Each structure stands twice: as C-alpha cells, then as structure tokens.
Structure 1
C-alpha cells in the first residue's frame, strides 16, 4: 500500500504535481554550467530549483544544441549569424536564383515565339 502525503496528495517521496515552475534564463544557464563543471548532480539541481530531473536534462540538451548551432554558424573573421539568419540568407539567395531563371526563360520564350498580339 502506498502512503499519501496529506498536504500534496502524492505518494510520499514522489515529485509534487502541480503548478509548473518557470525558471529564468539566467537560472537555466546556471544549471547548465553546474552540470558541465560537475559541481552538482542533476538530482541535487532538481531539488535546489524545485523542478523534475527531466527538466534539468531538457535544459542541458537545449543549451548544448544552442551552443552547437551558434558554433556552426560562426565563421572566423566574421560576426556570427544565427541559424535563423543563415537560413533566411539561403532562402533569399534561392529566390534571387529563381527570379533570374524565370527572366531567362521569359527572354527565350519571347525570342522563339515573338510577341503575340493581345487579340
């Protein structure tokens, strides 16, 4: 039989289910650096900040992916672009390429068929 905690309604020793705790970006960064330096375990950090261990893992995974994206976008000697900015630049280059192709095709079509009357 599982004993219940009268105040929270959960099994004793289990995580409290209730209102989600919102952490500030600075707290998330602090959690990430603490796991990198091994100054605290994920369990200790979860208890300290009042969140679940899966939240700690998600924060670390997000921070790691963000750092990898930033490093991938960085070019030596240039100011780095965000992944979104790099993708936007690629899309604009593709639009310019497609515009040029359409113009070339229109010229070829005009030369082959000539100008038709509007009638």
Structure 2
C-alpha cells in the first residue's frame, strides 16, 4: 500500500512487459507525457521514468552487441571469440619461435 496523501491508498500495480513497451513507445513518439502515462497506467511517475531508463539502456546494450554479419551473438560471445583467436595466434607465434631457437642453437649431444 502507498500512503501518499495526494494519491490516497492505492494498491501497487505490476505492469506487464507489453504495457511497459507501449508506455515507452508512447513516450518516444510524444503521444503522452510521463505524467499522463503514469495516470493512464495507474502508477507513480517514478515508475514511468524507470521504465524509460531501462528500455533505453536495453536498446543501447542490444545495439552495442550487434555485430554485422553475426546475428544473435552477444557482446560477451564476440569478445570471447576474439580472445580465443588472439590466444591461438600467440600460441602459433611461440611455437614458431621455439622451432627457430631450436634450429639456431641446434640439438645438444647426449655424450
């Protein structure tokens, strides 16, 4: 229960994800203000602000993770693939250097 004297006793309302999305789209398109959205949904204005902030961050994260030509990969999986490729490149470099060192110094005799 909310005990705000202006709002009266009001039960807490949980919005469905589709409702949150509709609110966010309405705010972006200018169909209504934050106050109007809060009144329409029957929630506090801070809830609307949180919905907008969360939706914006989610969209930015999704766009940052999008790599052209590789649909469906998260940022973490792209970074992991890059690190594995770098690890393999370094492993090959070390192997080449070990072979070159062995050929340069030659094999020691066991006498």
Dislocated runs of 4+, deviation >4 Å: 15-18, 90-104
2:9 corresponds to 1:10: no
* Equivalent in the alignment of 1:68: 60
Within the candidate set 46, 66, 74, 1:82 is matched to 74
Residues 85 and 9 of structure 1: CA distance in aligned 2, closer, same or farther (over 3 Å)? closer
Unaligned segments of structure 2, at least 5 residues: 100-111
Unaligned segments of structure 1, at least 5 residues: 1-7, 108-119
Name the TM-score, length of structure 2 as normaliser. Answer: 0.60
Question: Hey, what's the Cα distance between the residues in 2 that align with 1:9 and 1:23?
Answer: 16
Contact 1:15 1:52 in 2 (8 A): no
Provide the aligned length of Structure 1 versus Structure 2: 106
RMSD: 3.6
Task: Choose between structure 1 and 2: higher helix proportion.
Answer: 2
Matches within 5 A, 1:1-119: 10-14=3-7, 16=9, 19=12, 21-72=13-64, 73-75=66-68, 78-80=69-71, 81-90=73-82, 92-93=84-85, 96=88
